[in-house]
Amino acid sequence: MSTMSDDSLFFTPATELAGLIRARQLSPVELVTAVLARAERLQPTLNCFITLTPERALAEARRAEDAIAAGRPLGALHGIPFTVKDLVNTEGVATTFGAVIHRDNVPAEDAVSVARLRAQGAILIGKTTTPEFGSGPLTNSPLFGSTRNPWNLARTCGGSSGGAAAAVAAGIAPLAVATDGGGSTRIPAACNGVVGIKQSVGVIPHSQAQDLYGNQTYVTPMTRTVGDTALMLQAMAGPSPVDPWSIGLRSHDYVAAAANPGDLRGRRVLCCAAPPGRPVSADVARNFEAALRTLKDLGASIEYFDGEGFEVEPIWRAINHTVWRARFGPLVERHPDSFSETFRRQVESAAGVSGVEYQEAMFARSQLFKRVQALFERADLLAMPTLTRSAVALEQDLFAPLDIDGRPYENVRAHWYPWTMPFNMTGHPAISLPSGFGGDGMPLGLQLVGRFQDDAALLGASAAFEAATGFMARRPALA
């Protein structure tokens, strides 16, 4: 088997790598060896891994090569390296949840999503960084420090799937398992110029959720291209007895949807830059209008909606932080010095939420679903900026003011990513796509939202936008 020798290998989509491996033009052993070497070289700069698994990955790559030589049937991801966010269970590999107290936690089995990728032949190379229990939009923790953005090492990679996004953007591995409870895939995707989807509820079974019915967190794909996102989704999707929302869902050909996007003729797009009273930076406003022109050039009709009723951060917080307090409150009480002040403060903030207030937030969540459904009576897609400004400074704190064009705003969640949280709560599919760069040279993202359980159509529209723009061709200038 021959190999590709230059850096283009690291930015070749998994859809192409899989074909090269099948055609015996690329060796799984040489691919995994090269990717591991890149991970080890960039780790001191980016700090995007908590654990690397070189011995196991190379052993699996050798077995992958043997299977090709023996002519055995190959999975769709045979020999393709992937990473897993350290919130998601990996059998026999430390899963720390980004928390000091779980430094030595080793699960006995893979999460369903991970097991499905491995069943298709994908090879785990390591676990990526996350703030404690995925608790914020900035990837730092007392366990490992801070993860840096490959486009600018002085900026955050976003969060909470920051390590996943930084690794993908830096060309370390083409596929990453991330998670998203309020934007945790889409925020870092926008910060790092990659593709991050939060699929419809139930499409990828969530085997670690504790409240199965009220769950608003998702295990997700993170990749550089829409085609690779579809490839991951195809492998990870499908019913499982562990997730009630997954049972009975129709199967879809996500790969075909992304591979044959066509144009957007006849598609109606409703768009809004920000909910009422929320700012967007001048860069983001310009970029959003340019993205809307691209959608229009592809044949879509564009209409604006006012964003009324999408001030959801207080509702999201009442639900989410109450869940955190139930899960992590006892841990924080027993080991207060093991957690960051920011994490402790979030868990403690839920103490003031009564049972009645929690249930009122769930009622509001139901109304939000109906509001989104009403928009889709006159639209095929919703469009908005993923974030209201580019990646913030590395040292930004969740409880410090957020700077947008020189003005400070309190409440990072409400002002930086007002558009990600709603769709965790409603279950609609939402994707962040690279949409260009700001005056600071940092990536910006467009969020498209699809009809409930129509992830395939969303991927098709996303692939059309990607093909029309070509932003995926740009790479961060890492030494």
323 vs 160, 200, 317, 320, 355, CA distance in Å?
A: 17, 21, 10, 5, 12
Mean pLDDT for 183-197 is 98
How far is residue 7's CA from residue 102's CA, in Å, rounded to a whole number? Answer: 36
Q: Render pLDDT for 233-260 as a digit per residue (tens, 0 to 9).
A: 999 999 999 999 999 999 999 999 999 8
Q: Please tell me which residue, 455 or 261, carries the higher pLDDT value.
A: 455
Q: Is the pLDDT of residue 266 over 80?
A: yes
Mean pLDDT for 268-279 is 97
Phi and psi torsions of 462, nearest 5° = -65, -40
* Strand, coil or helix: 221: strand
In angstroms and rounded to an integer, the radius of gyration of the C-alpha atoms of the chain is 21
Mean pLDDT for 260-286 is 96
Q: Nearest CA to 322 among 291, 363, 356, 296? A: 356
Mean pLDDT for 450-466 is 98
Give the CA-trace dihedral at 460, 463, 464, 468, to 10 degrees: 180
Q: Is the pLDDT of residue 479 over 60?
A: no
CATH fold of the domain at 7-473: Amidase signature (AS) enzymes (3.90.1300)
* Strand, coil or helix: 362: helix
How far is residue 1's CA from residue 99's CA, in Å, rounded to a whole number? Answer: 42
Three-state helix/strand/coil letters over 133-190:
HHCCCCCEECCCEECEECCEEEEECCCCCHHHHHHHHCCCCCEEEEEECCCCCHHHHH
pLDDT grade for 4, boundaries at 50, 70 and 90: very low
Q: What is the model's pLDDT at position 7?
A: 83
| Contact (Cβ atoms closer than 8 angstroms) between residue 206 and residue 171 | no
Q: H/E element holding 259?
A: helix 254-259
Q: Is the pLDDT of residue 3 over 60?
A: no
Q: Render pLDDT for 111-155 as a digit per residue (tens, 0 to 9).
A: 999 999 999 999 999 999 999 999 999 999 999 999 999 999 999
Residue 153 sits at the vertex; the CA angle it makes with 58 and 126, to the nearest 5 degrees, is: 20
Q: What is the model's pLDDT at position 6?
A: 62
Q: Nearest CA to 215 among 364, 362, 414? A: 362
Q: Is the pLDDT of residue 325 over 60?
A: yes
User: Does the predicted model carry a pTM greater than 0.85?
Assistant: yes
Percent pLDDT > 90 in the chain is 96
Q: What is the model's pLDDT at position 5?
A: 47
Domain spans of the chain? 7-473
Q: What is the model's pLDDT at position 1?
A: 47
Phi and psi torsions of 245, nearest 5° = -70, -20
Q: What is the model's pLDDT at position 472?
A: 86
Q: Kindly list the catalytic residues.
A: 85, 160, 184
Q: Render pLDDT for 328-343 as a digit per residue (tens, 0 to 9).
A: 999 999 999 999 999 9
Q: What is the model's pLDDT at position 478?
A: 81
Q: In what order do the strands lie in the sheet with 301-304?
A: 49-52, 123-128, 81-85, 175-180, 218-223, 195-198, 430-437, 443-449, 381-385, 268-271, 301-304
273 vs 251, 276, 319, 430, 471, CA distance in Å?
A: 33, 9, 26, 15, 21
pLDDT grade for 284, boundaries at 50, 70 and 90: very high
- Which CB contacts under 8 angstroms, 24+ apart, belong to 59-62? 60/32, 60/123, 60/124, 61/28, 61/29, 61/31, 61/32, 61/33, 61/123, 62/28, 62/29
| Contact (Cβ atoms closer than 8 angstroms) between residue 53 and residue 93 | yes
